[in-house]
Structure 1
Amino acid sequence: MSLALTTTLPHPFAEAVERTRAALADQGFGILTEIDVQATLKTKLDEDMEPYLILGACNPPLAHRALGVQRQIGLLLPCNVVVRADPDRPDHTLVEAMNPDLMVRVSGEPDLEPVARDAAEKLRAAIDALSAQS
């Protein structure tokens, strides 16, 4: 099992972020949280790094189903989607979505399998749409 569903976009970071937001929205995901890792590391540690954004994506019906199976699953929500500049290719951006199968593996709760499957289908569709736009 892979940790992430991944694609590389031949677009600069800012454009890739907007495309990622749109692809997630098309699959019913809203962005609940946003962490600008680059800015945080610069502010807190005076450390420079490439643009790196963590989007906390939530599909409310899927989250509701998962929480109905196991309340502690909220520890693994929302689904994180990382958009980061490719350090080796400045015109390219990596987009990585958490593999929802991790919820099942980490929790050991087999009743989460259908929710994880549906979430993975939607996240894969978003990643595939980004790849198709390239």
Structure 2
Amino acid sequence: MFHYTVETDKSMEEAIKSLETNLKDDKFGVLWQFDIQETLQKKGFDFNQPYQVLEVCNPAEAKRVLSENQLVGYFLPCKIVVYHDKETEKVKIGMPKPTALIEMVNDESLKEFTADIENRLITCIDQSV
């Protein structure tokens, strides 16, 4: 599976706040928070599903991996989504797995690095539930 997703009983705001705290504790920062619902509605589209995309980065790790392979920049910063699932009526937190994305670069030397980043982000997500 190319993604990791969990459900939470928290509100969107609570989940995002918790996620930001856990990411910060692991030296990841939220560079940008994109509110898809608000943006689409401003553009005149009827989209009523709360959906946030957080772009997160650990600067030291980004420098390290970009120094080894510049193509990895196509996947940076990492994205974590927080949204209200219409089917389950639950808030979900998820991300594309870095290990799945790195397969597109075809660089065996980066597999261990991306597995570490993926595990750290999964831990942050799990702690935010």
User: Partner residue of 1:112?
Assistant: 110
Distance 1:42 1:6 in 2: 26
Distance 2:42 2:111 in 1: 40
CA contact (8 A) 1:5 1:127 kept: no
Q: Which runs of 4+ in 1 moved over 2 A?
A: none
Shift of 1:128: 2.1
User: Partner residue of 2:66?
Assistant: 67
TM alignment of 1:1-134, pairs within 5 A: 2-90=1-89, 92-131=90-129
Distance 1:30 1:77 in 2: 13
Query: What are the ranges of 5 or more consecutive residues in structure 2 without an aligned counterpart?
Result: none
CA contact (8 A) 1:27 1:125 kept: no
Shift of 1:56: 0.4
Distance 2:81 2:35 in 1: 10
Query: What are the ranges of 5 or more consecutive residues in structure 1 without an aligned counterpart?
Result: none
Q: Which is helix-richer, 1 or 2? A: 1
Q: Which amino acid aligns with 2:103?
A: R
Identity of aligned residues (%): 27
- TM-score (normalizing by structure 2): 0.91
Shift of 1:62: 1.6
Q: Which amino acid aligns with 1:124?
A: I
Cα RMSD for the two superposed structures: 1.5
Distance 2:98 2:67 in 1: 16
Number of residue-to-residue matches in the alignment: 129
